[in-house]
Amino acid sequence: MPPAHKPRPLTRWARAVGDDAGARYQARMTALAAAGDYMHGEADFVTWLAEGPVRVLDAGCGTGRVAVELAARGFEVVGVDVDSSMLAVARRLTSGLMWLERDLATLDPEDTELGGAFDIVLLAGNVIPLLAEGTEADVVRRLAGCLRPDGRLVAGFGTDVEHLPVDDVPVTLDEYDAWCADAALVLRDRFGGWDREPFAVEHGYAVSVHEPLRNRTGTRHTPTAR
């Protein structure tokens, strides 16, 4: 008898929102935009960080808000997400992009549908703290494997309960930095938000930029504002 398949660990996202979250999430985003909220901070950050339109992996892309905006700005974008209901909305809204249903904990950097390595791997919208418990280090390692030698791993997530859709803080910045270090990534910059305000613990949110350790020359370099 063949061995039984081990069930995939349930993500904290799935526990928080339940089944068929795509339509509900998109309705919330639409309402925020209609209320005048600015929705493109992540795309602005990537545009500032990149030297020009480059390849971006939107890891945990949800309904595609960030990926669609980046594509409109000339970036080559691939969106991946484990939530089929979120991807269904993304595909309905924009058919011209590559949307892949993938679990980040088992993502294969050699997956031919990814189309090769990326200049930027983006984790927006609290992806890291909403992963399945115990998979975080594997996710970071696999995403690091998707980077080009001079690539950047960019992650934004809440560091207090006010900035998270769960009732605790499942991931600390120290833990995240340790997972990155284990994946041969080193911190390049950290900000307090997508608008690049200076980071402070009391902000409750951090945007971190890590790069492959092999690119280090022993000095810290900061992106020049463009």
Give the tens place of pLDDT for each residue, 21-54: 755 666 776 676 788 777 799 999 999 999 888 9
Give the architecture (CATH level 2) of 12-215.
3-Layer(aba) Sandwich (3.40)
Residue 223, pLDDT > 70, answer no
Q: Of 198 and 93, which is predicted with more confidence?
A: 198
pLDDT of residue 25: 65
Q: Which range, 10-19, 32-41, 71-80, is most confident? A: 71-80
Whether 157 and 129 have beta carbons less than 8 Å apart is answered as: yes
3-state secondary structure string, the chain?
Answer: CCCCCCCCCCCHHHHHHCCCCHHHHHHHHHHHHHCCCCCCHHHHHHHHHCCCCCEEEEECCCCCHHHHHHHHCCCEEEEEECCHHHHHHHHHHCCCCEEEECCHHHCCCCCHHHCCCEEEEEECCCCHHHCCCCCHHHHHHHHHCCEEEEEEEEEEEECCHHHCCCCCCCCCHHHHHHHHHHCCEEEEEEECCCCCCECCHHHCEEEEEEEEHHHCCCCCCCCCCC
Residue 94 confidence class, pLDDT cut points 50, 70, 90: confident
Share of the chain above pLDDT 70, in %: 85
Domain range list for the chain: 12-215
| pLDDT value for 79 | 98
What pLDDT score does 6 carry? 58
Which of 51-55, 58-62, 159-163, 170-174 comes out lowest in average pLDDT? 51-55
Residue 31 or residue 64, greater confidence:
64
Cα separation of 3 and 12, whole Å?
Answer: 27
> Which pTM does this prediction carry?
0.87
- Model confidence over 95-113: pLDDT tens digits? 789 999 999 999 999 999 9
Residue 90: its pLDDT value, please? 94
Mean pLDDT, to the nearest integer, of 148-172? 96
The residues, any chain, with a CB within 8 Å of residue 23's CB and separated by 6 or more, are 85, 89
The residue whose two tokens read 């613990």 is 201
Mean pLDDT estimate for the chain: 88
pLDDT given at position 1? 46
pLDDT average, residue stretch 64-81 = 96
When mean pLDDT is compared across 16-20, 41-45, 91-95, 130-134, the lowest value belongs to 16-20
Q: What is the mean pLDDT of residues 144-172?
A: 96
Question: Under the phi-then-psi rule, with left for phi > 0, alpha for psi from -120 to 50, and beta for the rest, what region is 47?
Answer: alpha
